[in-house]
Amino acid sequence: MIARLGLRLRLLILFAALALASLAALAAGLWLGFSRLDRPELLNAFVQGGLIAGFLIVGLVVWVWYLFDQNVGRAIEGLSAQFRARAHAGIDSAIDPAPARYLGDLAPAANAVTRELTETRNALAEAVARETTRLSAEKYRLEALLADVPLGVLLCTGEHQIVFYNSQAVDLLGGGAAPGLARDLFDYLREGPIRLAYERLSEANDSDAASDLLCATTGTAKVLAGRMRVLARRDPGLAPGYVLTLRDVTADIAAHSARESLLAEVFDRVRRPAANLQTVIGVLAEEPDMPGAAALNAALVEEVRALTSAITELGERYDEGRTDWRPLAATRAADLMDSARARLEAAGHALETESPDLILRCDGFELVALIAGLAERLAAHRLGTRFRAVLTEEDGPGAMLSLEWPGEALPVGRLDDWLAEPLEAGLPDLSGRAVLQGHGTEAWPERTEAGGAIRIPIRNARRAGKRVTPLSRAVVYDFELLSKARNAAVADSLLEDLTYVVFDTETTGLTPSVDEIVQIAAVRVVNGRRVDGEVFDTLVDPQRPIPAGSTEVHGITEQMIRGAPTIAEAGRAFHRFAQGAVLVAHNAPFDLEFLRRHEAAIGARFDNPVFDTVLLSAVIYGQNEVHSLDALTARLGITIPEAARHTAIGDTMATADAFLKLLPMLRGRGFTTFGEVLAEVRRHGRLLRDVNQKETLG
Could you tell me if 685 and 615 lie in one domain? yes
Give strand ranges (E) for 368-511.
386-393, 399-406, 422-424, 427-431, 444-447, 451-458, 461-463, 476-477, 499-507
SS3 436: helix
DSSP state of 511: -
Q: What is the pLDDT of residue 326?
A: 57
Whole-model pTM over 0.75:
no
Q: Count the neighbouring beta carbons within 10 Å of the beta carbon of residue 96.
A: 12
Residues 169 and 294 in one domain: yes
Q: 568, 601 in Cβ contact below 8 A?
A: yes
Q: What share of the chain is helix, strand, coil (3-state, %, to 5)?
A: 50, 20, 30
Residue 589 belongs to domain with CATH number: 3.30.420.10
Q: What CATH number has the domain bearing residue 238?
A: 3.30.450.20
Percentage, residues of the chain above pLDDT 70 = 78
CA–CA gap between residue 194 and residue 211 (Å, rounded):
10
Instruction: Report residue 398's pLDDT band, with 50, 70 and 90 as the boundaries.
Output: confident
Secondary structure (DSSP) of 259-270: HHHHHHHHHHHH
Residues in the chain: 698
Listed residues 486, 505, 526: the one ending a domain: 486
Instruction: Identify whether 61 is part of a domain.
Output: yes
Contact by Cβ (8 Å): 476, 143: no
Instruction: Return the higher-pLDDT residue of 44 and 596.
Output: 596
Once rounded to an integer, what is the mean pLDDT over residues 74-99?
73
54 and 194 both lie in a single domain: no
Would you place residue 245 in the very low, low, confident or very high pLDDT band (cuts 50, 70, 90)? Answer: very high
Instruction: List alpha helices for 564-623, DSSP H.
Output: 567-577, 588-597, 599-602, 613-621
453: CATH: 3.30.565.10
How much is the pLDDT for 467?
45
Same domain as 397, residue 334 = yes
Q: Residue 680: exposed, middle, or buried by beta-carbon count in 10 A (0-12, 13-18, 19+)? A: middle
The contacts found for 426-429 with CB under 8 angstroms, 24 or more apart, are: none
Nearest CA among 597, 587, 595, 602 for reference residue 687: 587
Q: Which residue has the higher pLDDT, 354 or 124?
A: 354
Q: Domain check: are 370 and 302 in the same one?
A: no
- Ramachandran angles phi, psi of 404, nearest 5°: -115, 155
Q: Is residue 466 part of a domain?
A: no
- 468 lies in a domain? no
Angle at CA of residue 229, ends 223 and 232, nearest 5°: 155
Residues 605 and 539 in one domain: yes
My answer on whether 517 and 429 are in the same domain is no
177 neighbors 499 (Cβ within 8 angstroms): no
**Sequence-ordered alpha helix ranges (H) in 69-153:** 74-88, 106-147
Contact between residue 259 and residue 242 where contact means Cβ atoms under 8 Å apart: no
Best mean pLDDT range from 220-229, 318-327, 466-475, 605-614: 605-614
Q: E strand or H helix at 588, and its extent?
A: helix 588-597
Are 255 and 320 contained in the same domain?
yes
Check residue 229 and give its pLDDT: 92
Q: Is the pLDDT of residue 569 over 90?
A: yes
CA gap 173, 602 in Å, rounded: 23
Rounded distance, CA 93 to CA 585, Å? Answer: 26
> What's the mean pLDDT in 401-407?
89
My answer on whether 636 and 615 are in the same domain is yes
Q: Is residue 493 part of a domain?
A: yes
Q: How many domains does the chain have?
A: 4
Which pLDDT score is estimated for 115? 74
Same domain, 617 and 552: yes
pLDDT at 653: 93
Kindly indicate the confidence band of residue 609, based on its pLDDT and cuts at 50, 70 and 90: very high
Backbone φ and ψ for 396, nearest 5 degrees, come out as: 100, -155
- Any domain includes 319: yes
Domain endpoint, select from 100, 133, 163: 100
Report the b/e string of 564-596 with b at 16+ CB within 10 A.
Answer: bbbbeebbbebbebbeebbbbbbbbbbbbebbb
Is 610 within 8 Å of 583 (Cβ atoms)?
yes
DSSP single-letter state for residue 166: -
Sign of CA dihedral 301, 306, 307, 313: positive
Q: How many Cα atoms occupy the beta-carbon half-sphere of 68 within 13 Å?
A: 16
The pLDDT score that the predictor gives to residue 651 is: 92
As a whole number of angstroms, the distance between CA 609 and CA 582 comes to: 5
- Name residue 351's beta-bridge partners: 387
Q: What string of DSSP letters covers 646-679?
A: TSHHHHHHHHHHHHHHHHHHHHHTT--BHHHHHH
In this prediction, residue 148 has a pLDDT band, given cuts at 50, 70 and 90, of low
In a domain, 122, yes or no: no
Torsion of CA 244, 247, 250, 252, to 10 degrees: -130
Cα(330)–Cα(126) distance, rounded to whole angstroms? 48
Tell me what the mean pLDDT of segment 309-319 comes to: 63
CA pair distance 53, 540, nearest whole angstrom: 68
Helix (H) or strand (E) holding 198: helix 191-204
pLDDT single digits (tens) 449-485: 888 899 999 888 888 765 444 444 566 766 667 666 6
Instruction: Between 688 and 233, name the one with better pLDDT.
Output: 233
More confident residue, 129 or 444: 444
Three-class secondary structure of residue 150 per DSSP: coil
Express as a percent the part of the chain with pLDDT over 90. Answer: 22
Distance CA 393, CA 464 (A): 12
Residue 123 domain-assigned (yes or no): no
For residue 437, give its domain range: 329-459
Residue 502 and residue 583: Cα distance in Å, rounded? 6
Which of 269 and 9 is assigned the larger pLDDT? 9
Nearest to 177 by CA among 498, 478, 606, 471: 471
Tell me what the pLDDT averaged over the chain comes to: 80
Same domain flag for 160 and 304: yes
CA 256 to chain centre: 32
The confidence score (pLDDT) of residue 491 equals 84
Q: Is 692 exposed, middle or buried (0-12, 13-18, 19+ CB in 10 A)?
A: buried
**Interval 159-178 mean pLDDT:** 80
The reply to whether 38 falls in a domain is: yes
Same domain for 224 and 345? no
| pLDDT tens-digit map of 644-694 | 777 889 999 999 999 999 999 898 888 999 989 988 888 766 656 666 655
Alpha carbon 198 to chain centroid, angstroms: 25
Say how far apart CA 416 and CA 272 lie, in whole Å: 32
